[in-house]
Amino acid sequence: MKKLKGSCLCRQVSFEVADEFIFLGYCHCSECRKWTGSAFATGGMVPASALTLTAGSEVVRHYRKSVQTELVFCGQCGSSLYSRKLLVDRCIVRLGTLDDTPTRAPNVHIYCASKAPWYEIMDALPQYDELPE
Ligand SMILES: [Zn+2]
Ligand SMILES: [Zn+2]
């Protein structure tokens, strides 16, 4: 199975993730906007067991956003790395942290109902107001 390498801005944290995403998409929810500081978050979902920290566990920090979601970031440089979906044992990797190229590209926009009003989606990918079934 192909593995992809990822890292934070200061490179203290690195990880490997299997190139087998259950879901690849752009999330336009207001919380992703806050966490990424950008118009939307680009995420790839994998089973939690498919992601391994390979360096920097001592500087990794966690923020418990909700009952089901913990955000994982570098305490040194602040890079958003991935979220842990605790109730379903999955992780959503921020694709911008990858140093390798995943086989498939994101193919959907979610939570478009709360999209930033100053951002216009310019591609033809499907758009959902919230999370599709
Ligand atoms: Zn860092
Ligand atoms: Zn989101």
pLDDT in tens, 43-88: 999 999 999 999 999 999 999 999 999 999 999 999 999 999 999 9
Inside any domain, residue 68: yes
CA atoms within 13 A on the CB side of 115: 15
**Whole-prediction pTM:** 0.94
User: What CA–CA distance (Å, rounded) separates 97 from 12?
Assistant: 12
Inside any domain, residue 56: yes
Residue 131: per-residue pLDDT: 87
Mean per-residue pLDDT for 93-100? 98
- In total, how many domains does the chain have? 1
Q: Residue 18's Cα: distance from chain center in Å?
A: 14
Inside any domain, residue 84: yes
Nearest ligand to the C-alpha atom of residue 75:
1
Ligand 2 centroid vs 40 CA: distance in angstroms? 7
Nearest ligand to the C-alpha atom of residue 15:
1
Inside any domain, residue 88: yes
Angle of CA points 73, 127, 98, to nearest 5°: 30
User: What CA–CA distance (Å, rounded) separates 93 from 50?
Assistant: 11
Residue 123: per-residue pLDDT: 97
Q: How confident is the model at residue 31 (pLDDT cuts 50, 70, 90)?
A: very high
Ligand 2 centroid vs 10 CA: distance in angstroms? 24
With a CB cutoff of 8 Å and minimum separation 6, the contacts of 31 are: 65
Inside any domain, residue 65: yes
Nearest ligand to the C-alpha atom of residue 65:
2
C-beta of residue 93 within 8 angstroms of C-beta of residue 12:
no
Q: Which two tokens stand for residue 70?
A: 């913990």
Inside any domain, residue 85: yes
C-beta of residue 19 within 8 angstroms of C-beta of residue 103:
yes
Inside any domain, residue 49: yes
Mean per-residue pLDDT for 92-110? 97
Nearest ligand to the C-alpha atom of residue 69:
2
Considering only CA atoms, which of 28, 24, 26 is closest in space to residue 111?
28
For residue 74, what are the domain limits?
3-23+41-99
Ligand 2 centroid vs 91 CA: distance in angstroms? 13
Domain holding 51: CATH number?
2.170.150.70
Q: How confident is the model at residue 20 (pLDDT cuts 50, 70, 90)?
A: very high
Residue 133: per-residue pLDDT: 73
Inside any domain, residue 79: yes
User: What CA–CA distance (Å, rounded) separates 73 from 59?
Assistant: 9
